[in-house]
Amino acid sequence: MISIVVPALNEERYIGRCLHSLKDQDYAGEYEIIVVDNGSQDGTASVVREAGVRLVEWPQRGVSYARQAGAEAAEGDIVVQADADTLYPRWWLRRIRSQFDRHPEAAAVAGTFIYERPPWWGRLEYALRLVFNWLSFWVLKRPYIISGANFAFFRKYLVQIGGYQHNSYSADQYNISSRLSKCGRVIYDGHSWCATSNRSVSKPFYVITSDFFQHLARFGRHITRRRSAVRVIGERAGRFSAKTVLKIVIPAFLVGFLCYGYFVPASPVFGKVYARATTPLKVIALTFDDGPNEPYTSQVLDILEKENVQATFFVVGANVVLYPNTLRRMVADGDVVGNHSYSHNANHALEFNAYKDIQHAEQSIEGTIGLEPHLYRPPHGKKSPWELQAVKGEGYTEVLWSISTPELNRATPQQMSQDIIKKARPGGIILLHDGYGTLHGSGRALKTKTVEMLPLVIQGLEDKGYTFVTVSQLLKVPAYDQDAK
């Protein structure tokens, strides 16, 4: 028998379709579905009861506590981890069982996941997961990247290892798989997939990238504290020649180095960029990306005018064509206009002729306000060596940011403003958005929450003694080319 355990915390929106996919499995054997309500405040429990699925209530918050409660309530020999915001193909359980039948020495079987609506970089992530797991098999003889939404194991082995370690690194993923590997093999089945929602990636890519590197750093600290792991790595590496090791280590290092330079906004590895200023003064710069986007940009300008604050707007050339009068108002109000490309292409920095797109945006801006911008911010904050060279050749100063908040998540304006205020430091550059690429009128281009957040940010930072300046004032660089003449 198989027991599927689904932890749930305020999952009313997603769990119904998840349970439908689990109940629709074509597995011929017996299986049960257990949902562990982890203290939900919404209608999660009602949805579960209506679906006729077993419900376990466990008020102690934490996914590992919920998974432990579900495993203890399970009647099956095999426990399968699932997630409430994920959909499972009909053959999913059948494939998991077939892996255990094929590998009687296995203690666990790990699958993978894809996104329901893959972001543009989705295939890159899938490939990186595969590479990391290949390296992990080479070093540790088990996969490293384990999906908590697609992992199965024998319940007797969970009892044998003492259950989930709640305060450990990645308790229901890396930690549980590494401990179960002492009881038997951990099989990785790259063809066993499930489709998870996009909510974890529905935020600016620089935030996702930052989270990834922070996660990697935490794992690095974790692994170096474990002498056994370091010894295993040393012993396995010792079986190969130095030349073989270098063939693996050098490419891996280069990939990491290039990803850091490309994805992390403040990284200077490809050339000089400005993410903040070094100053003892409590000055800070407000910047807005992706406008003009009406009516939100005008609402932002109204607030800035009322609060007597000047900001820097990195505008998209295609949007300037749509709202030229908004751009003219920015200049009339004393705000600074910067170049944010014409098309806002997500892979702008990878194109060798990206300078043409920058020039196109410059022509739109100059043709509207009669000024050539001196400041440039790349779309999504991504950089490449040739992109930086092109920007330098055009006479621009490349400006990134040091302070931001996920404007596309479900946080309230109050929560987002507090996040900004908490991260504020002297000389910081704040990233906000008055638009979303070249979209207008719906979806992510709706900036009501950002407009509501702005007065709270201004008031909160002024209460802490901060003075707002434009980026050109902060970095002591000209705002427009004519200023340099």
Q: Give the domain ranges of the chain.
A: 2-199, 202-264, 283-484
User: Is 311 exposed, middle or buried (CB count within 10 Å of its CB: 0-12, 13-18, 19+)?
Assistant: buried
Helices (H) and strands (E) in the chain, counts: 19, 15
- Classify residue 242 as exposed, middle or buried by CB count within 10 Å of its CB (0-12, 13-18, 19+): exposed
Is 87 within 8 Å of 195 (Cβ atoms)? Answer: yes
Sign of the dihedral defined by the CA atoms of residues 137, 139, 140, 144, in that order: negative
Reported pTM: 0.54
The catalytic site residues sit at: 289, 433
- 230 alpha-carbon distance from chain centroid: 29
- Which fold, 283-484? TIM Barrel (3.20.20)
pLDDT by residue, tens only, the chain of 485 residues: 999 999 999 999 999 999 999 999 999 999 999 999 999 999 999 999 999 999 999 988 899 999 999 999 999 999 999 999 999 999 999 999 999 999 999 999 999 999 988 876 677 777 777 777 777 777 677 887 889 999 999 999 999 999 999 887 788 888 899 899 999 999 998 889 999 998 877 666 555 555 565 555 555 555 555 545 445 545 555 555 555 554 555 566 667 767 777 778 888 877 889 999 999 999 999 999 999 999 999 999 999 999 999 999 999 999 999 999 999 999 999 999 999 999 998 777 777 677 889 999 999 999 999 999 999 999 999 888 878 888 888 889 999 999 999 898 888 999 999 999 999 999 999 999 999 999 998 888 999 999 999 999 999 999 999 999 999 999 999 999 865 43
How do beta strands 31-37 and 2-8 pair?
Answer: parallel
- Which residue reads 């915001």 in tokens? 85
Cα separation of 371 and 479, whole Å?
9
How far is CA 80 from its chain centroid?
Answer: 26
- 95: alpha, beta or left, given left = phi > 0 and alpha = psi -120 to 50? alpha
Q: CA–CA distance from 218 to each of 82, 212, 337 (Å)?
A: 24, 10, 39
Which of 1.25.40.10, 3.90.550.10, 3.40.190.80, 3.40.50.720 would CATH assign to domain 2-199?
3.90.550.10
Identical fold for domains 2-199 and 283-484, yes or no, is no
